[in-house]
């Protein structure tokens, strides 16, 4: 898989899960405990990690390539 394809996939995952988090925050579903736990322990970490990867991933890969 090329770099562009993987970046596009990560971007779409980030956008869709970020949208799901926004729906959770602004909907009455926030009162459901199961959805709250799903958001706190799965959605939020995945959105955070994917956002950091989109932001710093190319620089991290560049540093790792130089160290080899």
What string of H, E and C letters represents the secondary structure of 40-51? HHHHHHHHHHHH
Q: Say yes or no to pLDDT of 11 above 80.
A: yes
Range of the domain at 47: 3-67
Question: To the nearest whole number, what is the mean pLDDT of the chain?
Answer: 91
Q: Say yes or no to pLDDT of 5 above 80.
A: yes
**What's the pLDDT at 30?**
80
Q: For the residues 48-64, what does the mean pLDDT come to?
A: 92
Q: For the residues 25-49, what does the mean pLDDT come to?
A: 91
**What's the pLDDT at 4?**
87
What percent of the chain shows pLDDT beyond 70? 100
Domain tally, the chain = 1
């Amino acid at each position: 898989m090329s770099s562009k394809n993987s970046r596009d996939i990560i971007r779409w995952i980030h956008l869709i899960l970020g949208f799901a988090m926004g729906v959770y925050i602004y909907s009455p579903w926030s009162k459901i405990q199961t959805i709250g736990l799903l958001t706190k322990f799965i959605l939020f970490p995945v959105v955070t990690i994917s956002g950091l990867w989109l932001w710093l991933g190319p620089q991290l890969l560049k540093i790792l390539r130089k160290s080899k």
